[in-house]
Chains A and B, each alone.
Chain A
């Protein structure tokens, strides 16, 4: 749908207006949803709700289901459903199969090579396209905004609502522009960039907003890098992250299974190229970042905003004037087992996790493998895991020989899933264990009760694995 001419619109507004089904007199919109990604943990109650009300999905062809959150990542534990040892996980994965069959929904089940993390699978299949609205019962749905799609996470009631009506009743977000100019230094990547932003504006800095990431540093990123950035918009409080469509977007999308057929391709890409903020469009807030000043970043605490660069020291609570913030620092230091003022560089790690919807794509694996090639994981590191984002990422990595590099270095090479990002399967931290993790959340207990998570880039995680402690990217 074309937006009216003559008015300078943000990308958010173009996407919002083109999906407006209806609007009430008090400004609540009914927004149409083009793509719905579903997985085993937040959907069973929604399907059960449909059943109880005698409802059917409005457009089942728009739904794509993949089990990812609680699936085992050891091949021998998942070649058949009955091999999933944890009974509750087995039940959830089985229930997803049952629900998809009953309601006529396409599922990439555990036996399919396409299976993986929904936020890796959607884009990989071309199921995420520019100009779409995309929802999932998962907050990291912001990932898909990298394609110039309006994508956001919802709760289970909304999963049911979208299944039943193809719509959501909601109000527009405010618009925040994050303008990033300049060139990232060598060894600094998209993960460092987004952690830098979160450190600057805080974990609630963009609450109520859709962030559009713009500037030549964003234009220079690959689609995978843009996905990493948009993925963690939610960690700054924004449900939506967006990047305008350009050649990089269209080149990435081209030829994937779900993309428009040849006859429609020209019209589709002509429309997609209009998906950018117009010159002069007004944002509610603007944040500017000089890419050249971004450094390799590592979180030290229990919120993604508790982040410092590799040369930094963990904070000293006594230096914080605000009592609520001071209390947070004290709690975080105690949980993380760190003394105030400790230099980050020397902190030893027990485990290393490379994976998650933030950093499990082929470029992430290449980045980590390039560091690990010919090197060994340090003796003090008890476990180092690589969990590819999908079966297709895994196959691609194996065809490039990356699996052999990881295995030779002492990493375990696993099957796809969310894995140790949230420890819903067997991959988790034990109490007190410290992990260098490429995932997105360092909350208390996130990777396992009592576990201590430090978020960083794939290159930094690989470097920590070799050194046995945080260090500069090799």
Chain B
């Protein structure tokens, strides 16, 4: 997995609440059996004027000019700023893969849906939770100042604004550790294989019908 330590980047504002994973990556693109290649179809139905199909070359497709992903001032942004309950709905990790393929490495919102939130950490993306008022203020500042960029520092769990504010965010220490070091979750769990086997032995005695 990609590790994450620091990030200085433009910010892409997606001013909507309850953005669901169907909107992040529509279902027709889930027919891939790969983990990559979803970036061109991130927010497909909002981003393009035609209906997207898997395998299509995105270069010639007509774009919705008002949509933020199509606006030059945000080109290259690696931080997505959005509203509450981002990533609700389906558990599809394809939503995170699409954000990652597009180039997003960190997300800022007042809240995230649980499954999406967990999926981010498995793919080296950092979801940052800030208060609704702070997020609101960031939206306003971003609109007022072209080229608005933020600096994320994971070791200190801080976000630095161009105004000089230093915003702290909370993070699960175990997830932080894995993200900082780009650790493979499965490899870590397999180091505890003996404990898993010991547990299975106890469980087999207590609920033998689960081990028939």
Contacts and interface: CB of A to CB of B under 8 A. Distances in A.
Interface of A: 1-2, 21-22, 24, 26, 28, 30, 32, 34, 41-42, 44-45, 48, 53, 55, 58, 69-70, 86, 88-89, 91-92, 95, 129, 131-132, 137-139, 153-158, 160-161, 164-167, 169-171, 173, 203-204, 207-208, 234, 237, 239, 259-261, 264, 267-268, 271, 303, 305, 324-325, 327-328, 331, 422-424, 441, 443-446, 449
Contacts of A170: 118
Contacts of B15: 327
Contact of B22 (A153, A260, A445): A445
A445 B28 CA distance: 11
Contact of B185 (A137, A169, A443): A169
Contacts of B33: 44-45, 48, 91-92, 95
Contacts of B28: 424
Interface in B122-159: 122-123
A1 B202 contact: yes
Contacts of A24: 174
Contacts of B212: 260-261, 264
Contacts of B32: 88
Given A53-B186, A237-B88, A88 B51 contact: no
B60 interface: no
Given A45-B33, A154-B91, A443-B22, 17 more contacts: A1-B206, A21-B195, A24-B174, A26-B173, A30-B195, A41-B31, A42-B30, A45-B35, A137-B91, A156-B93, A165-B193, A204-B18, A422-B27, A444-B23, A445-B22, A445-B23, A449-B26
Category for how many chain B residues contact A: 35 or more
Interface in B17-53: 17-18, 20, 22-23, 26-28, 30-35, 45, 51
A239 B16 contact: no
The secondary structure that dominates the A interface is loop
A165 B190 contact: yes
Contacts of A331: 16
B122 A158 contact: yes
Contacts of B16: 327-328, 331
Interface of B: 15-18, 20, 22-23, 26-28, 30-35, 45, 51, 54, 83-85, 88-94, 96, 111, 113-115, 118-119, 122-123, 172-174, 185-186, 188-190, 192-193, 195-196, 199-200, 202-203, 206-210, 212
Contact of A161 (B115, B186, B208): B186
A456 to B, nearest CB: 19
Nearest to A208: B114
Give the most central of A41, A204, A207, A208: most B CB within 10 Å.
A204
A169 B173 CA distance: 13
23 contacts: A1-B202, A1-B203, A21-B195, A22-B195, A26-B174, A32-B199, A44-B33, A55-B186, A92-B33, A155-B118, A165-B196, A166-B200, A167-B196, A203-B18, A208-B114, A237-B85, A259-B209, A261-B209, A305-B18, A324-B84, A328-B18, A424-B30, A445-B23
Contacts of B84: 204, 324
B211 to A, nearest CB: 9
Contact of A207 (B30, B111, B123, B174): B111
Contacts of A95: 33
Contacts of B18: 203-204, 303, 305, 328
Contacts of A325: 17
Nearest to A59: B200
A166 B209 contact: no
A138 B88 contact: no
